Chains A and B, each alone.
Chain A
Amino acid sequence: MLYDVAADLLAARSQMAFTLGFHIILACLGVGLPTMVLIANAIGLRRNDPAALLLAHRWSTVMAVTFAVGAVTGTVLSFEMGLLWPVLMGRFGGAFGIPFAIEGLFFFLEAIFIAIYIYGWSRLSPRAHLLSGIPVAVAGIGGTFSVVAANSWMNQPAGFVLGADGRVAAVTPFEVIFNRATFYEVPHMLLAAYLVTGFLLASVYALGLLRGHADRYVRLGFLIPFVIAALAAPLQVAVGDVAARGVLEDQPAKFAAMELIAVGGSHQPETIGGILVDGKVVGGIQIPNLASILAGFSPDTYIPGLDSIPVDEQPPTAIVHLSWNAMVGIGTALVFLAVWGLVLRWRRRDYANARWFLRAASIAGFAAVIALEAGWIVTEVGRQPWVVFKILRTADAVTHAPGVQATFVAVIVLYTGLGAATLLALRGLRRRWAGQDAAAGGRAYGHAMDEAIPYGPHQGPEGPPP
């Protein structure tokens, strides 16, 4: 079979990156939304609050849609591990397949209980219904832990012995799962999930508040997700800081690319913006000594540069560096937003009237998604040319099947449609709810309350549109 290796490799990498970048947004919602829904549901039941119950009910409908899209795009990823990277799986499946197997367990639980929760609104007792949501939130966390542990293993492979045939000859599962990168990647990703979900959801209600709808429903819809995201934001910066030092120690090439360090040494500046051209930083601004100070708390900290890495083992610098800047910039900005909210509270100002605060909050969701994608670009592109760090090159892992370029195009088309359909479906839901609210002359609380009553009337899928 004749094929163009370089073009196929590029197509395979792009397809993997594209489908992962798509899935990860839904994955964040799959981890974060159940928590938000459960909080709203619990508030609703405890305080007998119809606004909270209506929010929980509507959010769970959103969750049904995004979970389904997350599940199918995740299934595609599982296929792609073999379709695109058969050599990676054939040689190392025995090692880093183990966390994936644990992931499978958690996603099974998640799929089961999410169905019980979503379909259980009308005919389970309110208490049983609420309880059925808890495994969903827990399984989301467990699933994230396992799948990110698999990714960490690619960055810091451990817990196996290589045989003469290049295959894994002995495996210690515990060391595979708890490799050196697991400790910073997993919490960082979990926090990212709550940040993304929280700020995305808060963004929607911030827009509502800006339009002057400041009833309890909109306020609560803003507050619950915003508070969670605001709590996660500072923690995220702290964990990211630990992660950065971990990367410096474990993956110096990635760190050098992140910080645009061409020549190793102490007193390294922090570069914001700019790119590396012929070993020199062009453009951007530099803050003297800052990179060294952040990395080791002293300007004397030595940071290895790209000069200590063989040329054919260096990652691309521009994209890694700029993505790194984007993530850190946004992460810092999100902390400021959280503090802003806190200050408003201290000064007893009503955030519903703080228009600049709400404007900032209304773009925070989008910004968090950008930070998420940027972070993954840093991690994945920064690992290049390795797929398994220092052990297997991406170029050697790719499939020899012809047709990757065609599937890449097909996937782009399909996912564009999928993304558009998801957004259309969500917009359709919003309109439908607005219609219900208008018909009820306020908020359609009766709707949620009816639904929450066990054995209440229910509307079949073929029922008339409300």
Chain B
Amino acid sequence: MTTVQGTAVVLWLGLTAYAVFGGADFGAGFWDLTAGATKRGAAARALIADAIGPVWEANHTWLIFDLVILWTAFPPAFAAIMSTLFVPLTLAALGIVLRGAAFAFRPVAPGLPERRAADAVFAISSIVTPFFLGAAGGGIASGRVPAGNAAGDPWTSWLNPTSMLVGSLAVATCAYLAAVFLVADARRSQPALVDYFRRRATLAALAAGALAVAGIGVLRVDAPVLADELTRRGWPLVVASAALGTAALVLLRRGISRGTRVLAVGAVVSVVWGWGVAQYPDILPGSLSLADAAAPPGSLEALLVVFVVAALVIAPSLGLLYYLAQRSRLVHRGL
């Protein structure tokens, strides 16, 4: 493997981590929004807040990780993406601010009206943000982001069928992942909510599956190159994703929770890597290859060193965080 390929793999690993951890985090906000009126939804909301409270900042640091790798390793790609997709990415950034701030303010809100406002902002931005990030991804994958400073169309680069598909799929996937994780969390602390989230996980799985099937048609028409490569080179991953997703669905229907998390994560990971494989060796399909975009070897080597250090230091730390959270050792403190 060359350094360019190695760095591309690191970039994609980061993207995968963000899709899984950030995705589950966003999805929790989706279920917060749909939990119903203040009283009725209180139990579900409490579980959600407990589940993501200690981990949301770490989950979102994956996005920073990706941005930094992208601008250091493949600078012209970063420049092209951020300038052409200015609108959806600005909206995503604003969504991130609103979401994080609302989440942090919730427990310290002085009164009920403030608390309700924070709830609403948190939940809505949890849906809007992954949608715009997905739409941006769709613009890249369908070859609508050419190299250069805002060289692509500022509107059709993300207001197009593929972007809408990927944006919706992102929202559905986040909701699906979150529900699956919340089933496990509920088993630990609020058994009454197990079935509640199991039903929601099933619904989200069906929605994501339906979107994926519809997506085949959309991509054939709107992004034929991507669709071709997905079937030519990416098919094992596409098949894997479908199989894992279906298996998770079957387990959920049968009321078995063991293993659903692994299967659901596997389904999402396969999609992300399917996309990567389909557009390899381009970083901007049809416009810029990884090799042409790559920074000099010195930069890539430095990044790989940072990555190794990260793997040695961050991975065990994250492990500790998730371990403590899963063992209920991290709890919301009284104020």
Contact = CB atoms under 8 A, between A and B. Distances in A.
Interface of A: 1, 57, 61, 64-65, 67-69, 71-76, 78-83, 86-87, 89-95, 97-98, 100-105, 107-109, 111-116, 118-124, 135, 160, 167-173, 399-403, 407, 410-411, 414, 418, 421-422, 424-425, 427-429, 431-433, 447, 450-451, 458-463, 466
Contacts of B67: 78-79, 81-82
B231 interface: no
Given A101-B68, A123-B331, A171-B295, A83 B83 contact: yes
A97 B86 contact: no
Contacts of B53: 115, 119, 461
Contacts of A93: 71-72, 75, 78-79, 295
Interface in B287-335: 295-299, 301-303, 306, 309-310, 313-314, 317-318, 320-321, 324-325, 328-335
Nearest to A424: B110
Interface stretch (B90-98, B169-177, B233-241): B90-98
Nearest to A135: B317
B58 interface: yes
B71 A168 contact: no
A82 B329 contact: no
A103 B309 CA distance: 12
B144 to A, nearest CB: 14
B75 A97 contact: yes
B109 A428 contact: yes
A428 B110 CA distance: 5
Contacts of B280: none
Interface in B66-121: 67-69, 71-73, 75-76, 78-84, 86-87, 89-90, 92-94, 96-101, 103-110, 114
10 contacts: A68-B101, A81-B82, A82-B81, A83-B83, A98-B299, A98-B303, A104-B65, A418-B101, A425-B109, A427-B110
A414 B317 contact: no
B225 interface: no
B281 interface: no
B203 interface: no
B42 interface: yes
B60 interface: yes
A86 B105 contact: no
A345 B329 CA distance: 44
Interface residues of B, number: 82
Contacts of A418: 97, 101
B71 A100 contact: yes
Contacts of A460: 46, 50, 331-332
Given A68-B104, A94-B72, A459-B334, A86 B154 contact: no
B68 A103 contact: yes
A419 B109 CA distance: 14
Contacts of A422: 101, 105
A113 B58 CA distance: 9
Interface string B121-151: 0000000000000000000000000000110
B328 A123 contact: yes
Nearest to A159: B298
B55 interface: yes
B209 interface: no
Contact of B149 (A172, A399, A433): A399
Nearest to B306: A101
Given A1-B150, A105-B309, 18 more contacts: A65-B108, A72-B100, A75-B97, A76-B94, A79-B93, A83-B86, A103-B68, A105-B314, A115-B321, A119-B54, A119-B330, A123-B331, A160-B296, A171-B295, A399-B82, A399-B149, A428-B114, A458-B333
Contacts of A168: 75, 295-296, 299
Contact of A82 (B63, B79, B330): B79
Contact of B299 (A74, A123, A173, A450): A173
A171 to B, nearest CB: 4
B57 A75 contact: no
Given A167-B76, A466-B335, A73 B108 contact: no
A73 B101 CA distance: 9
B49 A461 contact: yes
B61 interface: yes
Contacts of A64: 104
Contacts of A119: 53-54, 325, 330-333
